[in-house]
Amino acid sequence: METGHIVYFASQQYPFLVESTPCLDLRCSCRNTTLTLSELILPGAPRRDSLTFTIRVSLATWLEQDPPPRSLEVETLVGEFLARFPQERIHELAEQFETARARKKRLTSLVLSGSRDELVSYSEVIDPRGGIREGVTAHSFFFVFEGREFLVEDHYCANPDCDCQQVHLEFWERVHRYYPKRDMTIQQQLRATFTLDGKHKETRFSEESNSTTKYLLLAWQRRCDGFFPECRRRYELLKTIGRRSFPAASRPQSPPPTDTGIDQAAGINQRHWDAPSRQHVRRNDPCPCGSGRKFKRCCARRATGAK
């Protein structure tokens, strides 16, 4: 019946794509997941609306929960799906459910350590084991360039006071060696910064030649442009965690009045009013306020209250 995430029905000409959405309400004790089945009409086939339906099923009993009203055709497909879906795939869905719940709980309570200006890997946020540097590659983006295999890991600024709108990408090449013995290593080749709308901003580090670096990043932009909306979602997630992890920066105190600052209530330039007490000015010297009059006939009278 099934190949990967594709299922086939005896009564249907085309296969269906299966997508799972587990219940992520941490207050809920259910083990339900919603399966969406979408018909994949092959290219060149007569144009018509594809058939799509959902099944909310318990992973503990594999029974449908609260089935909605359906047509006889869809009801037949649901019955066939529940009866023939492979048991090993049910176990995989249950594992995915537990992983998704654990990840949601982690993201809800995670508090970052270290500096507020330190870049944070998305892999390290969703997986306590870490990212590529710790040997965990499950969450990295896979990218092929001129026959070379790269794992791309995304990093973000979690500082809640920063609005950089950037994603920092690390390109790690997966190198297969067959002599003198067969093994595989992962080597960092490139670090680059992009804006969240996909524009290359700068290259921070590269083990490649300038031309190779240029064409590798251009290839990334062309092939992986659809990745940047996901980067924006991850950026907002890291900012949310950052607001929880780092106390709000204290606002800087208002700077002292500048040379042109005006005390509106008194209508007097405060710097000029204080000038006589901060420097030695003789009575017949020009007044420091710049009025052009002698000090004794200007600010000296104000300072002493004389008329």
Short-list 186, 125, 178, CA closest to 150: 186
Asked whether 15 and 40 are in contact (CB, 8 A), the reply is yes
Count CB neighbours of 37 within 10 A: 20
CA of residue 126 relative to chain centroid, distance: 11
Residue with tokens 């009564």: 11
DSSP E strands in 196-258: the ranges are 200-206
Strand 166-177 and strand 141-145: the pairing is: unpaired
Distance CA 189, CA 187 (A): 6
pLDDT at position 299: 60
Q: Coil, helix or strand for 158?
A: coil
Domain ranges of the chain: 2-109, 119-245, 270-304
Express each pLDDT in 36-81 by its tens digit.
Answer: 999 998 777 777 788 999 999 999 999 999 999 999 999 999 999 9
- Non-local CB neighbours of 106 within 8 Å, separated by 6+ positions: 126, 128
Instruction: Reply yes or no on whether the pLDDT at 302 is more than 60.
Output: no
pLDDT at position 45: 73
Express each pLDDT in 164-205 by its tens digit.
Answer: 999 999 999 998 888 777 888 899 999 999 999 999 999 999
Distance CA 22, CA 101 (A): 8
How far the first Cα of the chain sits from its last, in Å, is 103
Q: Is 0.85 surpassed by the pTM of this model?
A: no
